[in-house]
Every structure is written in structure tokens, then in C-alpha cells.
Amino acid sequence: MHQVERAIFDLRRGMTVVVIDGDTRVLVQAIEGAGEEAVSRLAGLAGDTPSLVLSRHRLAVLGEPDARRLARLPLAEGTDRQRLVDLAFGLAPEARIGREALARWRRALEPAQAADRAALALMRRSLLIPAALVARVSEAEWSAVQARLDDGTWLAVRADEAEQCLEGGVGMLKRVSEAQIPLEDAFDCRFILFREPDGLREHVAVVINEPGQGDEAVPLRLHSACLTGDLFGSLRCDCGEQLRNAVADIQALGGGVLLYLAQEGRGIGLANKLRAYTLQDGGLDTLDADQVLGFGDDERRYGVAVDMLDALGIRRVQLLTNNPGKMAALAEGGIEVVERQALFGSLNDHNRRYLSAKSERAGHLLDAVFTGDRDSTG
Ligand SMILES: Nc1nc2c(ncn2[C@@H]2O[C@H](COP(=O)(O)OP(=O)(O)OP(=O)(O)O)[C@@H](O)[C@H]2O)c(=O)[nH]1
Ligand SMILES: [Zn+2]
């Protein structure tokens, strides 16, 4: 897996990576940051016309009615950067590209192969826009490509290994360091840092009052990182308030655990969350904005949370959340969710639309926020 992690750094820097699947060798480049000449440059290096690998969410935005899987869109020679953006993550593709032309693009779609799936997995793990420029290396160009691999200019990764990178080595989380950190609302707190084996993400368990000694369900909060809300008190969401309320609630319950998970922007990363905010300012809601960028409603996975609970010896929990998806994910991971306790922030003019989309479209249990009955639990 070592090569995969290095490939992620290369892709984030805008470099080309080679994905190998048996006899198929594919040059891969992130769409984000691709220059004006990216398509013709990659065509020259590979000796073949590049394609664009798009997620099923983005394909649905392009009007593909039956988009269940990712697919590969062969690009015309000389496709410029603006057209790449129009296809990969731009707003209103039909208006930009034209109805007929877009239908032609859709008819040209080809099923994705292992190297294409690998390319998209690498983009997601890299927290880049989930679209990849790919080009099959021709026989004629293979020796030139091989020379760049041999001299260390480029890296090669195996498609099957790259495809697995989204799992991030679940089950191999490293417990790295810890310290006592008294908080305003909970004096006896221990912060324990866990690192994913590929070194890309770190998560923190905040253990309040050393719970989990008996059979009692442990009060637990899973909190996904939100830099803007947690740190700056952004009014666009309710995260900062939820974070502080969770600490106070766990303290009031006698102690428990807060897992602070590196899942910024429901797993799409801060760069993409800021892009999504700008799309929301143009009229989209929180879910549609993510879809325009090629993401699903919620890109989070909770395997690391289950691993952290395992490391802390916690099997039964009282979960502080309004999100049924978190309860289901823990149950799937073998953690018994004995009870749920609601946890609210305040409603304001800036987060009303965000919270109503979560309530109406994503099934979050937020009725009490809108009726003002903030004490209710479910
Ligand atoms: N993509 C995206 N992410 C957002 C937006 N607003 C907030 N977030 C992220 O949404 C996540 C919210 O995390 P949580 O509060 O733990 O989870 P939740 O799904 O709201 O569920 P509960 O709070 O447990 O009820 C954080 O990662 C935020 O960064 C948005 O408009 N778009
Ligand atoms: Zn937030």
C-alpha cells in the first residue's frame, strides 16, 4: 500500500500517476488544477486520447438517468479546461454545454474498468474533486513511460491496491499519544489521538470521566470535523454548538466519550465544502451542491469510529445524535446502541435551509429544532 499513499501526495500536487492493471497501464491526473493543455499533454504522453472518469453522482447531474456506477467519458481531441470543468463539476452543465451536445457526450459513455475505479478512489481519498483524467498508455509510448517510472519522476500503483484505499486500513488504527486536557464544561478529560495506518487522517477520542467500567451503556458522541463551525462558530451550520453541548451533556450524564472524526464536510474535505457553500449561495441546498461536485449525500464511513471504540473497550453506547445513519453504522460495526439522545444547536437565518434539507431530505431527526421543543429526545 505504500505506493498508494505516495501516489495520493503526487495527485494532490497535480502530478501524473500510473495505474497498472495487468497489461493495462493508465496515466491518471486530477481534474482539479489541470491546466489549459491538460488533455493534449496527457494524450501526447500516453499516445491515446484521454477520458474523464466521473462518479455516478456527477453522471446524474449530466442527465444520465440510470447512473448506478461510475463511467468513463472519452474526450474529443483538444478539449479545453473550461469544457473539463463543465463536465466534471461545473454548475448547470446543460446550459453550458447545450442539450444536444450533452446528449452526445452521454451516448459516448463507456463502462469503467478497474484502473478507472482505482483513479476515482484515489481522488476521493485525496479529498480532490472526484473526477479523473485518464489515458491508456499505447505500446509505442510504454518505454517512455517506463523510463519516467525508472528514474522516479512518476509512481506506479496497482489498480486493486488503489481501489482499496478508501478503506484506509480499517482495523489497523494506531493509538499514538494522549494527554489530560481539562475543558470548560468537563474538567476530567483525556484526549487520545489515533492515526490511520496510511498516515493521512488522525482522529481524537475525548474520554470524559473514564467511563466504561461497568455494564452501563457509555454516553457517546460521534462528531465529524467542521473547521468553520467548530472553531469559528460559523452560522451556516450548528456544529460548533453541538460540539460544546455534547461535552456538557456527556459530563451531565456522568461521563462518556466524544470521538472527533476527521470527516470535514461529511467526508468531502474542506476545499470541497467551501466549493459547496458557494454553490449553495447560488441557490442549491446542501445535498444538491455536493452532488454537483460529484459526491453522494454523505461520504462518511464509520469504520474508524468502531475501531476507536474497540480500542477503548466500549461495546454498548447511548448515542448523542439526530442522525439515524450514525446509529445504523455503529450497529453494523457490532456496537450496541442502547439509546439515542437528541443533540441540538440553535436555528438561525443562515442555517435554517441547511437544517431543513437535513431534516426533509436526509432523514435527520430535527423536528424539535423547528417546533422549538428542544428538550425532546427520541
Ligand atoms: N458537504 C457539506 N458538509 C457540511 C455542510 N455543512 C456542514 N457540513 C459538515 O457536516 C458534518 C456534520 O457533522 P455532525 O454534526 O457530526 O453530523 P450530523 O450528520 O449532522 O449528525 P448529528 O449532528 O449527529 O445529528 C461536518 O463534517 C460538517 O463539516 C455543507 O453544507 N456541506
Ligand atoms: Zn458545521
Strands, E assignment, the chain: 17-21, 24-30, 51-54, 71-74, 110-111, 131-136, 155-158, 174-180, 189-195, 202-208, 218-224, 256-261, 316-320, 336-341
pLDDT digit string (tens) for 103-117?
Answer: 999 999 999 999 999
Question: Among all residues, which ones are annotated catalytic?
Answer: 298, 300
In CATH, the number for domain 2-164 is: 3.90.870.10
Q: What's the CA-to-centroid distance between 162 and ligand 2, angstroms?
A: 30
Report whether 266 belongs to an annotated binding site.
yes
- Determine the Cα–Cα distance for residues 120 and 35; give it in Å rounded to an integer: 19
Ligand 1: nearest atom to the Cα of 295: 1
Distances (CA, A) of 23 to 137, 150, 159, 161, 367: 10, 18, 11, 16, 55
Report whether 189 belongs to an annotated binding site.
no
pLDDT digit string (tens) for 27-77?
Answer: 999 998 788 889 999 999 999 999 999 999 999 999 987 788 999 999 988
What is residue 377's predicted lDDT score, i.e. its pLDDT?
43
What are the boundaries of each domain within the chain? Answer: 2-164, 174-263+300-371
> Residue type for 321, please?
T
Return the CATH fold of 174-263+300-371.
Rossmann fold (3.40.50)
Beta strand pairing status for 110-111 and 202-208? unpaired
Q: What's the CA-to-centroid distance between 243 and ligand 2, angstroms?
A: 10
Distances (CA, A) of 41 to 49, 65, 80, 120: 10, 32, 11, 20
- With cut-offs at 50, 70 and 90, classify the pLDDT of residue 378: very low
Continuous segment of H or E residues that includes residue 342: none
- Using a 6 Å CB cutoff, which residues line ligand 1? 223-226, 237, 239, 242, 263-266, 268, 273, 276, 286, 290, 321-323, 326, 354, 364
Please compute the mean of the pLDDT values over residues 335-349 and round it to a whole number. 87
- Determine the Cα–Cα distance for residues 149 and 17; give it in Å rounded to an integer: 9
Starting at the earlier edge strand, list the strands of the sheet with 256-261. 174-180, 189-195, 202-208, 256-261, 218-224, 316-320, 336-341
Q: Which residues contact 156 (CB under 8 A, 6 or more apart)?
A: 3, 17, 18, 19, 20, 25, 149
Quote the DSSP letter at residue 155. E
pLDDT digit string (tens) for 205-250?
Answer: 999 998 866 678 999 999 999 999 999 999 999 999 999 999 999 9
Q: Which ligand has the minimum distance to the alpha carbon of residue 233?
A: 2
- Determine the Cα–Cα distance for residues 140 and 116; give it in Å rounded to an integer: 21
Q: Is the pLDDT at 202 greater than 70, yes or no? A: yes
- Determine the Cα–Cα distance for residues 55 and 33; give it in Å rounded to an integer: 18
pLDDT > 70: percent of the chain? 96
C-alpha cell at 280: 449553495
Ligand 1: nearest atom to the Cα of 268: 1
Q: Whose CA is nearest to atom 6 of ligand 1?
A: 237
> In the structure, how many helices (H) and strands (E) does the chain have?
16, 14
Distances (CA, A) of 38 to 31, 52, 93: 9, 12, 20
Q: Whose CA is nearest to atom 21 of ligand 1?
A: 323
Q: Which ligand has the minimum distance to the alpha carbon of residue 286?
A: 1
Q: 124: buried, middle or exposed (CB in 10 Å: 19+, 13-18, 0-12)?
A: buried
